[in-house]
Amino acid sequence: MSSNNSNYCVIMAGGIGSRFWPMSRQQKPKQFLDVLGTGKSLLQETFDRFVKIIPKENIYIVTNKSYEQLVLSQLQGINKEQVLLEPSRRNTAPCIAYAINKIILKDEDANIIVAPSDHLILHTGAFLDQVKKGFDFVSSSNALLTLGIKPSRPDTGYGYIQIVSQKEDPSESEIRKVKTFTEKPNIELAKSFVASGEFLWNSGIFIASVKSLTKSFDEFLPDIQLIFKEGKSTYYTDQESEFVEQAYAQCTNISIDYGIMEKASNVYVLPSEFGWSDLGTWGSLYENLKRDKNQNAVLGKNVVLHDVEGCVVNMPKEKLVVIQGLKDYIVVESDGILLICKRDDEQEIKQMVTTVRLEKGEEFV
């Protein structure tokens, strides 16, 4: 059994969330926003979930250095050394290498869960039960364990994990060996994945002991591991940020999935159901908000709808907005920027943001 005090959490909170524009902006991306109307930001929701089973001082947040104050102001009771500041964006492998090299100095027997800061989890109890099972598994085996989500539909927006086909003994643990990882598939492929019963959605959440993670980096990403190992004497000191600045300048931009998970032979998955969504787009938010009888999801105190259906509307509280005749649209206003876009075309928002940046300037993104 893993001891609670040796369990750690690394929350990745450095993204820009450009598909959630104009609410999510570089100055304050979606993980710092209350996108669900709960009174808490997504980061706060994530932190509050983990603090139920992991000591507060064992929770580390990796974010961009420009968000340090946002993190410290939103998460009461964590200290500066728990906020790992990235000078630039280099994907998930460097940020995890940084975190494990820092945590191993504090606790060589640490077990770590790594999770994004901006996912929705509806059933906290079921989620934490799976996390505890995961900690117990990795504390006694050299394994990298991902949480896989049982797919409810053939979604093309998620990566998929294929499990080694059905186990013989039903009394065995539900943890399964991973056969392959597949990036976002097209709709035909997604349908065949779901029909086969051998595939799970990749939640991007994984658990491993710090020793197993270190071994994996040594084997598959030795350059990155070496860079962060060299910083040993600077971690938890005033020299840390200067060292990290230089370290990131040398790092390749690579994800942990591509760099390690897809190559390692000791990757396992725990099939899970806890009401998960990665809240990557307005459409995924729409699916998870309460909807009225016309299937509209509305955030805003003064929104009046006439002959409107299937829309997601997000307006500042004080703004009176009257909308007539729209069907299946996204209508969002934030800080003087208004977006009106078909829900079916939401994948184009990223491109729209690029156009705005080029034609109207950086201050609008």
Predicted confidence at residue 184, as pLDDT, reads: 85
pLDDT at 118 over 90: yes
Residue 3: pLDDT band (50, 70, 90) is low
Lowest-pLDDT range, 54-58, 145-149, 275-279? 275-279
pLDDT tens digit sequence for 139-165: 999 999 999 999 888 888 888 999 886
Using DSSP's 3-state secondary structure scheme, residue 59 falls into strand
Pick from 20-34, 157-171, 196-210: least confident:
157-171
Is the pLDDT at 168 greater than 50, yes or no? Answer: no
- At 59-85, the pLDDT tens digits run 999 999 999 999 999 998 899 999 999
Whether pLDDT at 1 is above 80? no
Going by C-alpha positions, the residue among 321, 277, 275 that lies closest to residue 299 is: 321
Amino acid found at 6? S
Domain with CATH 3.90.550.10 in the chain: 4-277
Q: Residue 178: beta bridge partners?
A: 163
pLDDT, residue 166, reads 60
Per-residue pLDDT, 171: 47
Q: Does domain 4-277 have CATH number 3.90.550.10?
A: yes
The lowest-confidence range among 121-125, 194-198, 244-248, 309-313 is 194-198
Dihedral-angle region of residue 312 (phi above 0 means left; psi in -120 to 50 means alpha; beta otherwise): beta
Contacts of 305 (CB under 8 A, 6+ apart): 294, 296, 298, 311, 313, 322, 323, 324
Please, where are the H alpha helices in 221-305? 222-229, 240-250, 256, 282-288
Q: 169 falls in which pLDDT band (50, 70, 90)?
A: very low
